[in-house]
Structure 1
Amino acid sequence: MKQRSPSRLLLLVLLALLGACGLEGGAVQPTPPPAVPTPTQAPTADPKNQGWIVGLTEEPLDLYPYSYAARTASALLELLYPAPLQIVNEAYTTTGVLERVPSFENGDVAYVNTSAYLDPTGAITQTKTDVITSVRQLTVTYRWNKNLRWSDGTPLTAQDSVFAYNLLKGSASTPQIAIQSDLTADYVTIDDHTTKAYLPPLRDEPNYLETVWIPLPRHKFAEDTTAQAVNDTLARQPLGYGLYRLEAWIEGRELNFIRSDTALDPAIPAKLTVRLYPDLSTLRDDVLSSRVDVAWTEQMPDTIAASLQADTRAKTLQSWMIPTPIWEHIDMNLAVVALQDIRMRHALAYGFDRAGLSTSIYGADQAVWDSWIAPTSWAYGGTAISRYTYDPDKARGLLDEMGYTDTDGDGLRENPAGALFALKLVTSEQTALREIISDRFIANMADIGLRIELETVPTQDLYSQQGPLFQRRFELALFGWLRALDPDGAVLWSCAAIPNQVNNFTGDNFTGWCIDTADQAIRTATGSLDQTVRKNAYIEHQQIFTRELPILPVITRQMTVLARPSIQGLQPETFAPPTWNIQHWQR
């Protein structure tokens, strides 16, 4: 079975560490910058000379494409280092960096035969042995745009992408590097504008397009340079190949970009100014007053959600609420006797007003998930899955049926033995969204007579292999996962992914959920490249999953995007940063 536990573990650790830095919506929030002075006048009205004014509430830590904080800066990195491939409308598309999206149909994704060593058990090993066999290996060919230039005028070549691979392969410094290293057995140049990735032998990996490496300017560094040296050099003085280059960075106030002399689209505005704001409310004010053209933030809009909706109806600004890849959920440890009864798990689901929670934070119930696969995914179960709409009376009925009743009239239920019943919810400390979710969950559970005791722990402790998740020392746990374009799921739901001493406490099946039919379904879904086979298997798995409910999906975090009424061409996406199509923005 395909194992990707190191990559998934690192994704979880990333969320944890970002949470410790003040994560809200998955973005690092440094010490709040000073308030931005209000400009004395709006930008010039001449669209031919007018540059873009962009507003943000999160200042990037750096502008290095392989930084651990790259997600925070993704929209600005897209101006400097446009991604070779972007995910738009739940599918890969080109950005002009590559000539086309590799696929089996166009021949850029293909199998080759290769030799591999076998260990005494017959398994493939990297260690040289006396037994060699011939196996198939998946390859991906990437064809780079021949017109790309670094902003200093140097032609970009395939060697720049391979330079990044050789510099960073095997590193676990960021989740994305770990994932790419895990997927890429080798990465080589075919010619000056073509690279080829080789996946590990016998690895039929649906995420094969994650083997492309963002180029780095090889010509700026000595042959014996180190990854740290490249990071330190490019972090605040980026040298990219995108439409813009960084001109100035006034920390805590603004970043100024100018059109690159080597931009593939010279018709874009000559300047782009990024202004930093302390909060969404101030940002909204400057969009309404036309001091900012486009803005986005992952701060929760709860206090002004209704105002943003009114603005949109009045057409004084445009607004979008876009789901991010981060989704929050509550894991239920099936080692806890009370949670082994499916009625208890269903009672928790029916008793939690997730739609009301979403509406109070984002102004609508669109953030609620019913499965572990996003409703927009090709693999979503649709009408085949079970749903748990808020129904406290049904929750009370299930608890009564189980023998959990309030025998002393204090509003809280006792277990069938007559003792006060309580469940403990553990989550990361100092994470604003999880504080809101926890408070609402505790209040909703109290309404149906259940006592929930909250425990917050340092995020490093929560996600540590010695912590409550991997050691399975919890009853209920609230935390977040990052979704990918391909659902994968083996490391989340397979029986082999339950952390224990035998597997050195790896795998993310923290609930300990193991049902043969579900295990077989997830193995089928993740062990094939046949889309029809995979979709049917994912639907079968979600049917079982939503019936059994080992975890309760809560909400997916949202990004707020604002724009002046006259701005056209924006296409906010879940996976692609807001600037992915900036060349198509118009006034």
Structure 2
Amino acid sequence: MAKKQFLLLASLLLVLSVFLAACSGKEKEESGEKDTGKDNGKTETSKGDDTESEDPNAGLDFPFEVSNKGEALEDGELTYGLQTDTPFEGTLSPVFYENQPDATVMQFFNESVFDYDGDYMITNDGAATYEVSDDKKTIDITIKDGVKWHDGEPLKASDLQYSYQLLGHPDYTGTRYTFMIQNVVGMDEYHAGETKDISGIKVSEDDKTISITYKEATPSLLSGIWGNATPRHYLGDIMTGDVTMEELQSSDKIRVNPIGFGPYKVKKIVPGESVLYERFDDYYKGKPAVKSLVLKVVSSATVLESLKKGDIDIVSIPVDQYENAKGIDNIELLADIDYAYTYIGFKLGKYDDEKKENIMDPNAKLADKRVRKAMWYAMDNETVGKELYHGLRIPATTLIIPVFENFHDSNLETPSYDPEKAKALLDEAGFKDVDGDGFREDADGKEFVLNFASMSGGETAEPIAQFYMQNWADVGIKVQLVDGRLHEMNSFYDMVKTDDPKVDIFQAAWGVSSDPSPAGIYSRDASFNYSRYTSEKNDELLEAGVSEKAFDTEYRKDIYKQWQELMVEDVPVAPTVYRYYLMGVNKRVVNYSIDPGSDDADVWRWGVSE
């Protein structure tokens, strides 16, 4: 670590700590992680790769479950903290939501028809059982007896069908019309408005079984299948004209009074601030452990104090507060490597709403991949992880994270902090300091300034943004914050996903799904592909990764090795850090675990003791 850089970080943190104290509780956004649509409501965790350079568990030893083995109170009350400095949006439908805070709100009342094992493969232990045909192209899903929506109506196979009808509808403007939806037989014609039915989806006469047939067999079937049902009887039927897509998205039945068939019913929502849930006595798995549960937003500035006072029982703690969290006597700290990574994205084009695909701009400011790779070499991610996150974040290498041990390529040579290599690449690209001001002009000798969008959040957001800007300045690249400041999460993503022309580069994070396929984020038609990068080779590899041949793990492993190499070569985004997530849990909590293979990862089991 260069001494100058450490002093920069230290001074920025000192200045910011004084600023936050003066602001007396002004809210900041901690992470702003986007969610890509996991059907699994559990917290996703796993051990990391065991290579020396990427072992996230090196020197760290955290439990996965609480130590309290007492009996849960019969009529206990539990308070769950949603740690965020931006009000949750309140789009409480798996079909329409986009951000992780809304997913957190939904986990208590909504769930997939499937349960998942420790490897996030679907099982027959949930609200439905399944059978897959010999050719692996058809899955029959049967709803179990006794599964009810919160209004008492039975869960039907046609409720799952309704989700597919919404996701594929020509008027659908959300982000989840992805491969496993598109792959359904007849979905292309339905999505184009050529038919009123999806020919590959059939529902039995008794409305207990739904049969879904796919165009291509894919290993994503058992880890990436859509399993969230939508209550047609409650929301209204878009297929018969009862309601329009626009009306549905803004409906109070989604935003104010949503229902599910999960363990808790929504009793009251204070928009953006809190949710009061009550026990659903007819929950098909059994009686939930607590009588009432409250979810409330807790800012990063007050999260530790709330834990100390016992105002909240369970909450995610920003890892930059780890050292202070260790001193709180009435809590336990649980942690594991997250299914997530942070990255710097380079704007390379726009999303075409009519064509529903990403279009690269050959004249984009960062069209030269040598410049993008130089910016990756210029970033000192190791210092960020060690000095700002107490070792709970580690330098990222590829876009398939280490928890996917079969597919993450730990041997791939990727850029790490090397300012001299960065300078050499910029020289090669013709980016040189022509006027002697310390900053490089572009290959045509014109001023080169990049506008950087980054989110507010916690005490480290400003220092990290400034640190990276200094890293780039050290190799001669002038970078300035969009509008001269950080932006809260919702306005940040509004700029990024609409391809606001004032954004050249941006810092964001992905919470990836349990399916290792990266197609949902980086394919040509993925609206989540915020860099707007496309290439024929990328299309070919992403398609091959979910093909029938990919049932052969060695074949799929080779495909994703090639894809990771391509991403390092073309650099549409530069991953910065892999990360731990840290949970603070009051010692009165029982039956709570972050191990996805544990029964106590299910929210209906969580309880409190005396």
Indicate conservation of the 8 Å contact 1:490/1:522, yes or no.
Answer: yes
Q: In the TM superposition, what is the alpha-carbon distance from 1:376 to its structure 2 partner? A: 1.3
Q: In the TM superposition, what is the alpha-carbon distance from 1:474 to its structure 2 partner? A: 8.0
Is residue 370 of structure 1 aligned with residue 397 of structure 2? yes
Letter matched to residue 345 of structure 2: I
| Equivalent position of 1:14 in the other structure | none
Letter matched to residue 567 of structure 1: V
| Equivalent position of 1:554 in the other structure | 576
Q: In the TM superposition, what is the alpha-carbon distance from 1:241 to its structure 2 partner? A: 1.9
State the distance in 1 between where 2:498 and 2:268 align.
Answer: 39
Helix, strand or coil: the match of 1:141?
Answer: strand
State the distance in 1 between where 2:80 and 2:448 align.
Answer: 49
Indicate conservation of the 8 Å contact 1:51/1:272, yes or no.
Answer: yes
Q: In the TM superposition, what is the alpha-carbon distance from 1:424 to its structure 2 partner? A: 1.9
Q: In the TM superposition, what is the alpha-carbon distance from 1:562 to its structure 2 partner? A: 1.6
| Equivalent position of 1:535 in the other structure | 557
Which residue, 295, 311, 316 being the options, matches 2:315?
295
Is residue 447 of structure 1 aligned with residue 474 of structure 2? yes
Unaligned runs of 5+ in 2: 1-27, 36-70, 188-197, 349-360, 484-490
Which residue, 95, 101, 108 being the options, matches 2:132?
108
Distance 1:217 1:270, change over 3 A: farther
Indicate conservation of the 8 Å contact 1:197/1:211, yes or no.
Answer: no
| Equivalent position of 2:107 in the other structure | 78
| Equivalent position of 1:159 in the other structure | 158
Q: In the TM superposition, what is the alpha-carbon distance from 1:370 to its structure 2 partner? A: 0.8
Q: In the TM superposition, what is the alpha-carbon distance from 1:538 to its structure 2 partner? A: 0.9
Indicate conservation of the 8 Å contact 2:451/2:480, yes or no.
Answer: yes
Is residue 565 of structure 1 aligned with residue 587 of structure 2? yes
Which residue, 503, 512, 515 being the options, matches 1:486?
515
| Equivalent position of 1:226 in the other structure | 243
Indicate conservation of the 8 Å contact 2:82/2:101, yes or no.
Answer: no
Is residue 356 of structure 1 aligned with residue 405 of structure 2? no
Distance 1:145 1:416, change over 3 A: closer
Indicate conservation of the 8 Å contact 1:352/1:441, yes or no.
Answer: yes
Is residue 188 of structure 1 aligned with residue 207 of structure 2? no
| TM-score in terms of structure 1 length | 0.68
State the distance in 1 between where 2:383 and 2:124 align.
Answer: 38
Identity %: 17
Which residue, 305, 309, 312 being the options, matches 1:285?
305
Letter matched to residue 142 of structure 2: R
State the distance in 2 between where 1:346 and 1:310 align.
Answer: 41
| Equivalent position of 1:128 in the other structure | none
Indicate conservation of the 8 Å contact 2:345/2:574, yes or no.
Answer: yes
Q: In the TM superposition, what is the alpha-carbon distance from 1:210 to its structure 2 partner? A: 2.6
Which residue, 18, 22, 26 being the options, matches 2:33?
26
Higher Rg of the two aligned structures: 1
Letter matched to residue 79 of structure 2: I
Helix, strand or coil: the match of 1:233?
Answer: helix
Is residue 381 of structure 1 aligned with residue 408 of structure 2? yes
| Equivalent position of 2:338 in the other structure | 323
Letter matched to residue 206 of structure 1: S
State the distance in 1 between where 2:72 and 2:457 align.
Answer: 43
Helix, strand or coil: the match of 1:258?
Answer: strand
Give aligned pairs, total.
500
* Bigger RCO of structures 1 and 2 (CA < 8 A, at least 6 apart): 2
State the distance in 2 between where 1:395 and 1:97 align.
Answer: 51
Which residue, 236, 257, 265 being the options, matches 1:237?
257
Distance 1:322 1:255, change over 3 A: farther
Give runs of aligned pairs for residues 250-265 of structure 1, distance below 5 A: 250=270, 254-265=274-285
1:333-354 CA deviation, whole Å, 9 max, x = no partner?
A: 5957997877655443232112
| Equivalent position of 1:40 in the other structure | none
State the distance in 2 between where 1:565 and 1:155 align.
Answer: 38
Which residue, 103, 121, 127 being the options, matches 1:92?
121
| Equivalent position of 1:269 in the other structure | 289
State the distance in 1 between where 2:519 and 2:150 align.
Answer: 42
Indicate conservation of the 8 Å contact 1:378/1:535, yes or no.
Answer: no
Q: In the TM superposition, what is the alpha-carbon distance from 1:582 to its structure 2 partner? A: 3.8
1:25-49 CA deviation, whole Å, 9 max, x = no partner?
A: 2379xxxxxxxxxxxxxxxx98344
1:63-122 CA deviation, whole Å, 9 max, x = no partner?
A: 44444357423233232222223666552244843344x4xxxx424549xxxxxxxxxx
Indicate conservation of the 8 Å contact 1:492/1:509, yes or no.
Answer: no
Q: In the TM superposition, what is the alpha-carbon distance from 1:553 to its structure 2 partner? A: 1.4
Q: In the TM superposition, what is the alpha-carbon distance from 1:535 to its structure 2 partner? A: 1.3
Indicate conservation of the 8 Å contact 2:180/2:221, yes or no.
Answer: no
Which residue, 524, 530, 536 being the options, matches 2:544?
524
State the distance in 1 between where 2:453 and 2:331 align.
Answer: 39
Distance 1:326 1:189, change over 3 A: farther
Which stretch shows the higher mean deviation, 260-269 or 248-257? 248-257
Distance 1:368 1:474, change over 3 A: same
Letter matched to residue 174 of structure 1: G
1:165-192 CA deviation, whole Å, 9 max, x = no partner?
A: 4466414242236666534433332344
1:487-519 CA deviation, whole Å, 9 max, x = no partner?
A: 44568778xx499xxxxx9987745667x6x77
Helix, strand or coil: the match of 1:73?
Answer: helix
Distance 1:386 1:27, change over 3 A: closer
Helix, strand or coil: the match of 1:80?
Answer: coil
Is residue 212 of structure 1 aligned with residue 227 of structure 2? yes
| Equivalent position of 2:23 in the other structure | none
Letter matched to residue 210 of structure 1: I
Helix, strand or coil: the match of 2:252?
Answer: helix
1:411-454 CA deviation, whole Å, 9 max, x = no partner?
A: 5457899x687452443787888766542221112233433345
Q: In the TM superposition, what is the alpha-carbon distance from 1:371 to its structure 2 partner? A: 0.9
